[in-house]
Structure 1
Amino acid sequence: MQPRRRLTLKQLSALSLAPLLPLGLGAALASTIHALPRRALVVGNSRYASAPLPNPANDAGAIAGVLQQTGFAVDLQLDAGKAALENAIRGFAASLGTQPAVGLFYFAGHGLQISWRNYLVPVDAALNRAEDVPQQAVDITRLLEGLTRAKNPMNIIILDACRDNPFNVELRTGKGLSQMDAPLGTLLAYATAPGNTASDGAGANGLYTENLLREMRTPNARIEDVFKRVRLAVRRASNGRQIPWESTSLEDDFYFIPPPELKKLSQEERDARFAEELGAWQKVQATVAGAGEGQ
């Protein structure tokens, strides 16, 4: 039987730290949310043949401007038909799958529900029967599935599409959009609560987006606080008739305008942090390996 070897104090200290260092290394390997690229797809549909809306194109343009100011690369689609909308959604999901990023999708226009499924209505849709909807509108589930496949760490989906169904009454849809659960790492925001309808607004922007634009420009505001303040302002302005609603499974904080201490790191800074953590971990591994050898 070989004699039992004793560890030095230095080796014991290294062993006690060993379980903790991979956690730090993991943090270095995974870029923080605010070091990630930001990508957005913004859609505003106003020119419907049978039921035009005055504000969605204005809303989308204004949202795109604020997003660009806060670091997002924006694909702006105005008055999109079905083919253009589907292509934009596919391209958006594919771009998020190329590298970790924060993704944001915003839609203003007509939306409706059929059998508890939610659809975004393109400007070229001609909806006369319930059977027309799956063929001529875009199922929001497709968007969610595309984002899930992309596996990016955070997605924000904003739907100002809860206006009352203006199409043929034979559709027999419920009011507004139906409730959806946000997939992991996703915040899903409605202009009003599921099953209710939202105002298109009397000014240049819809009531919901008007308030969202203001709150997105607030420095140091966590995204949950942004939407809380939007909800309060919209509820008061509508005398309780419209109450915005969110479903969220976010696990990280997000700020449109982050605090200074969360400034975006350069690639050089991220590489330096990674190299520092990796070097420390390799030193521990070497020290621990020496514990199995003679002193």
Structure 2
Amino acid sequence: MAVKHFFCFFFLLLLSLTSAHAERRVALVIGNSGYANVAELKNPYNDAKGMSDKLTDLGFDVVTGLDLSLRDMRQTVREFIKKLDNADLALFFYAGHGIQVNGENYLVPVDAELSTHLDLDFEALPANLVLNAMEQSTKVNLVFLDACRNN
């Protein structure tokens, strides 16, 4: 009988520890609207702001970037990648211009100057930079790309 009580106690203790341990959730939210060299977009800034606020309310540790230059995008992504360690769930939301070339997706910063596809490696951020880091670090990943994507 004592063994039965021990296992019941152990099970209840384990259950309480599991539920007490909150799931660690991180998010990267980027919204680019104010482009200098291509058509400005009306919604991404506000959409990203709203998404960031809601995710924060839901308990996510959110890294937010609005109207980012390439340098700022890279710094923001780096900050997010550092937070992926030991996260249970990661979410990435991007709103803004995007480009796909040869099956590769790029996120366009507000200061990008794109004349040819050769400029992409120097002026845009490969989406896979974020996606690969998420896949390597977290159990569950959610990705929302709200991009005007042109070839």
TM-score, with normalisation over the residues of structure 1?
0.43
1:51 aligns with 2:39: yes
Matched position secondary structure for 1:90: helix
* Conserved? CA contact 2:26–2:89, under 8 Å: yes
C-alpha deviations, 1:141-181, integer Å up to 9, x for none? 1112211332x2111111001x153xxxxxxx2xxxxxxxx
Rg (Cα) greater in structure: 1
Instruction: Return the alpha-carbon distance in structure 2 between the equivalents of residues 76 and 138 of structure 1.
Output: 16
Residue identity over aligned pairs, in percent, reads 38
Higher relative contact order (CA 8 A, sep 6+): 2
**Partner of 1:138 in structure 2?**
125
Determine the structure 2 residue equivalent to 1:95: 83
Describe the superposition over 1:47-82 as per-residue Cα deviations: whole angstroms up to 9, x where unpaired.
101211111001001111111121112221100111
Query: Gaps spanning 5+ residues in structure 1: where?
Result: 1-23, 166-172, 174-295
**Whole-angstrom distance in 1 between the partners of 2:90 and 2:120:** 27
User: CA distance change for structure 1 residues 103 and 164 in 2, over 3 Å: closer, same or farther?
Assistant: closer
- 1:120 CA displacement: 0.5
The unaligned stretches of length 5 or more in structure 2 are 1-10
Cα separation, 1, equivalents of 2:51 and 2:83 = 20
The question of whether the paired residues in 2 share the 8 Å contact of 1:106 and 1:159 is answered with yes
CA RMSD of aligned residues (A): 2.3
Does the Cα contact within 8 Å between 1:90 and 1:146 map onto a contact in 2? no
Q: 1:160 matched to which residue of 2? A: 146
Shift of 1:125: 0.5
What is the one-letter code of the residue matched to 1:134?
Answer: D
| Runs of 4+ deviating beyond 6 Å | none
Structure 1 residues 144 and 164: CA distance shift in structure 2, 3 A: closer
**Number of equivalenced pairs:** 138
Contact 2:26–2:87 (8 Å) recurs in 1 = no
Question: Which residue is equivalent to 1:41?
Answer: 28
Residues 1-295 of structure 1: matches in 2 within 5 Å?
Answer: 35-49=22-36, 50-97=38-85, 99-150=86-137, 152-161=138-147, 163-165=148-150, 173=151
In structure 2, how many angstroms separate the alpha carbons of the residues matched to 1:55 and 1:106?
A: 14
Q: Deviations over 1:126-150 (max 9, x none)?
A: 0010100122111111112211332
More strand by share: 2
